[in-house]
Structure 1
């Protein structure tokens, strides 16, 4: 359709210029032909701009839809990974805590830390993908994470920075596992303290640290992503969820 309008428009311009050189008299065939060409040219110009406007509107809608889908996927991936990390933490607590002392076997250590390693890699991927959308999502450049009452200041950072902090915290536990797995016995004969698994002990027993390093940051991230999804249906200009 656009090509046809362009061809008609060009032909009309050529004819108008040609007739202008001839300067036809009123009520003659050349004069009426020029009038028709002017009208056609006007319709072609209007049609062009209407088509261009429609194209830009549709393009903006498509960009918004793609951004909404990415935010929705990011929200789901974050919730799934966080729940998996909490699951590992609870299982570690259940399988290592006893009345006398916290002991661990190589079977438990390997099984659950391998799962934690998978989630650490998920957060690493989230960290890498965050810059692709954080500038286009309202609040993603300054996410304020809630903080425990003991903290003087709330944690504030970009979407990428919060994912990076979570990934770094989990990575420290995984690195400790890589270095010390061979020291863990097959039977529960040694405590976590004796094995000097400090990062593991903190992960299991230090709830405030886990909240500060993971939970509060996840709360801030999900709040921003959820607000973006809830407000994305409002009419706005451009393709950003702001």
Structure 2
């Protein structure tokens, strides 16, 4: 813009010189004064036009900057909402599994013998089926949402992606559900209930032998990874959220 202004003024001066030389107008003559006045009017008009252009340009840049910042804030808010949604659903689903496990344990060990009855088996396996599907959904979501697909946590020096943690939980619950598919009839035929020794996956789930390392620890790592993602620094300011 400065270059345009300079060129316009130089051009006006050149026109004044050309006019005075070409017409033979001498200083302090009417013709010279008319030329000088015309040049002054021309200069003011050019400067005004250039200032208007510069102002318009700066306003457009400021508007573009505000739009860009608003878009970035909106995108950040949507990404954070997605992370919070996954975190909330993970904790809620885990709590439902933990509640079902405690109730199933209480109802199978109520007489101290670890006997599984069909009504109890059906009731709480139904809960586990729903939560297995929820962890499957969370696994897919952690792969499809760009922000989540890059989330991982360091476990014993190895980077484990978020979807792998969800996949481990899903596989673990599938093991209990697969046993239900093949052993439900055995439990149904046992008039006084079936011994948990014949349901090893369910027994380990209830006793906690593999529940804690294969599910509880995985969910805890998911929570750590997601909370860390929410606290990541803002690339525009360098501060955390």
Return the match for 1:134 from 140, 148, 162: 148
Q: Is the 8 A contact 1:120 1:167 kept in 2?
A: yes
Q: In structure 2, what is the equivalent of residue 106 of structure 1?
A: 118
Q: In structure 1, what is the equivalent of residue 177 of structure 2?
A: 174
1:47 aligns with 2:26: no
More helix by percentage:
2
1:78 aligns with 2:90: yes
Return the match for 1:117 from 118, 129, 134: 129
**Between Structure 1 and Structure 2, whose CA radius of gyration is higher?**
2
Say what the alpha-carbon RMSD is for the aligned residues: 3.2
3-state DSSP class of the match of 1:185?
helix
Quote the offset at 1:228 in angstroms: 3.3
The runs of at least 4 consecutive aligned structure 1 residues that moved more than 4 Å come to 23-27, 153-156
Q: In structure 1, what is the equivalent of residue 236 of structure 2?
A: 237
Q: In structure 1, what is the equivalent of residue 28 of structure 2?
A: none
Q: Is the 8 A contact 1:142 1:157 kept in 2?
A: yes
Q: In structure 2, what is the equivalent of residue 149 of structure 1?
A: none
Name structure 2 gaps, 5 residues minimum.
17-35
Name structure 1 gaps, 5 residues minimum.
1-12, 145-152
Aligned pairs for 1:144-163 (under 5 A) are 144=155, 157-163=160-166
Return the match for 2:195 from 191, 195, 198: 191
The normalised TM-score by structure 2 is 0.76
